[in-house]
Amino acid sequence: MKMIQKPRIWRHISLDLLNDHFEQLSFEDRIRQLYRYFDESEVLYTSSFGINSAFLLYMISKIRPTQKVHFINTTYHFPETIAYRDELVKRLGLQMVEVRPSPVENRITREGNWWNDHPRMCCSINKVVPLEPIKARHKIWISGLMAHQTNFRSNLRVFEQQGDIIKFHPIIDIDEGDFLYWKSYYKLPSHPLEAAGYGSIGCKHCTAAGNGREGRWKGKEKTECGLHPNYFVKKI
């Protein structure tokens, strides 16, 4: 039997029109509607399994349980993050795919403590570059960014063009109070380091305790790893 392929409606609709439609929907309906426009094989979902990850992971697991969840293992995560990841994968039945950097390049950053003097390059080698070939195989990228987290994120809409891929931010406009309410309502476990005063969790060398993201790359100008703010324009 010949399979009928889903029409690629999104190719004929501007991002502005998509945003006008999706911004009126609830967080759950945004995710449901996404799969009317894109096949699951075209959708990339990454999670850091950090402080704020459980809510979106929960929604994805209920709405689209077969959606793969890519986790970039930089080899520099806190042991608590790995334990939390394993707990959520088991509890939510997630289809996790681990992404790792080049062993040779990762070893160079480790031997030179690049997180101290070359934090941007360290992030690029261990986080950004390993994801590039995976991004190239997808059309849309689900991200759990929220507008209240940083000035950069406060300017993002539900859909944004980032290079050759479209970013999808289903919970971009959730406020902090509602986020905490829904996390509690669904009885989602907290990251083990949250009780120790960590408001955001990244690699152990570049993360300190602090409210919100103030503990990320503390003492440095850097505020993002490079996965999200890269060129919100179409490459030529």
Q: Which residues are the active-site residues?
A: 225
* Cα–Cα dist 233/91, whole Å: 38
